[in-house]
Structure 1
Amino acid sequence: MVNVADANDYISANCIDIEDWTDADEAKKQRIVNVASRTLTVKYPTYTIPDAAVYEFANVLAVVFNDTNRLAQHGITGFTLDKVGSFDYKDSSVSGPDHDLSKLIPRVATALIGAENGVNPLLRKVGRLIP
């Protein structure tokens, strides 16, 4: 079962950019793990979701929902700190409360799900082929 302690261990050992994860408080980490797990389960309901896939996705969500990116999600396009610097945001990858978070699932998480289930969930059937 996924949990924050195991997520901390996994992310520290296996992910490159971990600052947003490590900077989050325990309650936020728990929410992120919950959302990552739920999103993967809804996206791939017939597959077993390995804990590692949840943790990879959780680390991505920690970046997307860090304090700085939250400003962009709330419509702020930029701000200036007197004599320090100016910060401008590109379009947010997440906008609005009903955004489809499954679009943020990293390929490594999908590959882990595929390996666990012996399938390639990236392959999609697109209708019937006619000879």
Structure 2
Amino acid sequence: MTEHKPRRRILGIGYPRFAVREWEDLAKNYDLHHFVPASDRAAVVAEVKRLCGEHGPFDAGYVLFGTAAYSPFDEALLGPLLAPRTCGVWAQGGVGYDDVDVPLLIQHGCYLANTPHAVTAATADMGILLMLSALRGVRQGEQELR
């Protein structure tokens, strides 16, 4: 007789635009509860609280890109997720973490994960492109062609 283990629960803010197949694979093994955030912070805070109340506690949480309208990720936003002390990971799909209350996560025994090297090569490429464009006067040539 096999023992039935409950699936781990993940709270997600945002829906992936690019890694959809990987996200669908994740959903096969975990209970994903996600929402596409509204453009105002109060609505996002309310939705996190609602989902944590109805489907929590969660083992992990994530947020994808475009968070400026509802950050920072502080006690008001993360409190319902962290309160049961079951959330072990908060993951972000971006490079920085300056909008996350790291001491709050530490206080609740929650790790923070981000993607610091995801855009390193693309940023370097864009920097070189901009320098070459400036040195070669690309902008002026483009204006003349118009």
TM-score clears 0.5:
no
Which structure ranks higher in relative contact order (CA pairs < 8 Å, sequence separation ≥ 6)?
A: 1
Which of 1 and 2 has greater Rg?
2
Report which of the two has the higher share of strand: 2
**TM-score normalised according to structure 2 size:** 0.26
Report which of the two has the higher share of helix: 1
**TM-score normalised according to structure 1 size:** 0.28
